[in-house]
Amino acid sequence: MAIKNQVKALLATKGITMTQLVEMLNATYQKEDTLANLSKKLNKDTLKYREAEEIANVLDCDLQFVPRTAKQED
């Protein structure tokens, strides 16, 4: 699943808009980012890992690498 879809699904679950997310990021990290800039990064799939960590942090979530389960042989 693309990062865009994951972020949007998480926002929907938490009842937060993209505008609110940008405001939260700007307040927490003393940035002056825009909704257009974040949307562009999500649409072009160019979000940096650090930016994904920041989004996860303001949404009170963790980013994890989870091992895939091994396929069982029949």
68 band by pLDDT with thresholds 50, 70 and 90: confident
Where does 1-74 have alpha helices with state H? 3-14, 18-29, 35-44, 49-58
Token reading at 27? 């307040």
pLDDT higher than 80, residue 12: yes
* Residue range 20-53, pLDDT digits in tens: 999 999 999 999 999 999 999 999 999 999 999 9
